[in-house]
Amino acid sequence: MLLNKDRALALIKGSKIDALVATQPENVTYMTDFEAWQTPGAYPYRGITLNKGFQQHAVLTPDGARSLITHCWSEAGALATYGWQVDDLYVYGTSSTVRQKGYKPDREDEKRWLDAYDSESNHTVDAVTALIKLLRKQGVTKGRVGIEFANLAPSAEQQLRREMDKIEFVDCGELLARIRWVKTPDEIARLRTAAAVNEKAVEAMMKAIRPGVTELETKRIYKTVLAQEDGDVDFFTCAGGVRGGFWPAPGAYAFKAGEPVVIDVGCRVNCYHGDTGLCGAVGEPSKKHKDWWKALMEVWQSGVELLRPGNRPSQIYDAMAAVEMKNFGVVKGYFSHGIGIQCREAPFANRMPGTGQSLMDIGEDPPYEPGMVICLEDSMPIQGFGALHREDTFLVTERGCEPLVHTMRDLYVFGT
């Protein structure tokens, strides 16, 4: 199970809510283990209209029951293929499938499809009707309900408040984020897989970089390896020479002997993410490059030493910022983030001036706990030179932290 149920139920109890409703695709998957079109990044659930795309909800009640509400057509194939692990399933909408008169399926996947679609009690016209029906079935007709408003259609919110006027609906986005801080064994296993696949793709790139190879060619290599492992590109930077100083998108630039190279790449495998970064030179690095790398590693290592239970993100931020200011004369302010079903999750150890994004701040500054998975990083783009970068993923353990996978992270010599 992806959901950290014990932690979720404890936080639900502490928040004094009678049900928790997820609407964001990542959180629906997290709460129900259901993966299909709603896989993070898929367009049907990222609608830009007032309808917010297809509505899909997951519900968790204090008794531990998990329920899923999903679209009967867009998700029917996934429901049929994979089944479902929730206690209660609701589908809504109309199928576009034509039924032959008198046809009786003998395949289990077809039977599952019909079980979901033909349910008289759990098939409704739309998602909000299903949600209201589900809450009433669970006995939640008054009190407080936590719901993610971020991906809820305005018309659905209005109908909820109108038809369930004895319930106080409160935003639960931050509560869901807190639940996801500590990973379950299933999540850690997926994160290890994603990190290993990411590393395999990075190693293929590293071996290919030499004079005359272009940045876009390295991206093709990266994408090819991911495809072979059923992974998808999340983001990609591989820049040569002074281009690294502005962290560019990959282009037709061909690497040259003697210049620096910076890599920062992320992938998604089975809904979970891998994120890593490194740097080096095409051929032997210059003395200046080596000195700057040593300075960057002092910053990075100061954070690794503090990544252990009981310490807080603010301590990592303060330590890394102090060394970065001493070694480079600036503080870039982005040092760590959690990783899981989203590439960048809380808790963060970052302060990005001028971003206006609260999620980029330290925020609640919770103490690290065993089971948290944290990407620790430091990057230093330098105009007129290129860029330095080091990023690895760590699992917080009872005694400290350990790398999620083995990585080759020194100042790498490409083209050898």
In order of 12, 84, 137, 300, the CA distances from 236 in angstroms are 38, 34, 46, 21
Distance CA 410, CA 143 (A): 56
| CA-wise closest residue to 36 among 12, 90, 72, 1 | 72
- Please compute the mean of the pLDDT values over residues 61-78 and round it to a whole number: 88
pLDDT tens digits for range 265-292: 999 999 999 999 999 999 999 999 999 9
3-class SS of residue 166: coil
pLDDT category, 354, cuts 50, 70, 90? low
Higher pLDDT, 96 or 187: 187
pTM of the model: 0.92
Tell me what pLDDT residue 46 has: 61
Q: Span 5-179: which CATH code?
A: 3.40.350.10
Contact present, 78 and 151 (Cβ < 8 Å): no
Tell me what pLDDT residue 116 has: 79
pLDDT of 81 strictly over 90 = no
Radius of gyration, CA atoms only, the chain = 24
- Of 45-59, 185-199, 311-325, least confident by mean pLDDT is 45-59
- Please compute the mean of the pLDDT values over residues 83-88 and round it to a whole number: 92
Distance CA 387, CA 33 (A): 39
Distance CA 258, CA 15 (A): 57
pLDDT of 358 strictly over 50 = no
The token duo for 336 is 């760590």
pLDDT category, 359, cuts 50, 70, 90? very low
Residue 347 preceded by cis peptide, ω within 30: yes
Cα–chain center distance at 283: 35
Distance CA 350, CA 367 (A): 15
| CA-wise closest residue to 121 among 94, 89, 95 | 89
Residue 112 has φ and ψ, to the nearest 5°, of: -65, -40
What angle, rounded to 10 degrees, do the helices at 185-208 and 215-228 form? 140
pLDDT of 257 strictly over 80 = yes
Tell me what pLDDT residue 362 has: 46
pLDDT of 48 strictly over 90 = no
Q: To the nearest whole percent, how much of the chain has pLDDT over 70?
A: 92
Distance CA 92, CA 95 (A): 9
Provide the Cα torsion 299, 303, 304, 305; round to 10°: 100
Q: To the nearest whole percent, how much of the chain has pLDDT over 90?
A: 75
One-letter amino acid for residue 247 of the chain: W
pLDDT of 355 strictly over 50 = no
The token duo for 82 is 């994979």
pLDDT of 356 strictly over 60 = no
What's the mean pLDDT when you consider all of the chain?
91
Cα angle, residue 174 at apex, residues 147 and 317 outer, rounded to 5° = 170
Do the domains spanning 5-179 and 185-414 agree at the CATH topology level?
A: no
- Please compute the mean of the pLDDT values over residues 197-206 and round it to a whole number: 97
Q: Which residue in this structure is represented by tokens 């994004």?
A: 357
Tell me what pLDDT residue 73 has: 75
Domain ranges of the chain: 5-179, 185-414
Contact present, 57 and 156 (Cβ < 8 Å): no
Instruction: Tell me the β-bridge partners of 189.
Output: none
State the CB neighbour count (10 A cutoff) for residue 332: 18
- Of 39-48, 105-114, 254-263, 298-307, least confident by mean pLDDT is 39-48
Which run of H or of E encompasses 136?
helix 127-137
Return the top range by mean pLDDT from 108-117, 147-156, 310-319.
310-319
Q: Which CATH superfamily is domain 185-414 in?
A: Creatinase/methionine aminopeptidase superfamily (3.90.230.10)
Cα–chain center distance at 11: 21
| Exposed/middle/buried for residue 156 (C-beta within 10 Å: 0-12, 13-18, 19+) | buried
Contacts of 320 (CB under 8 A, 6+ apart): 299, 300, 302, 303, 335, 349, 378
Tell me what pLDDT residue 19 has: 98
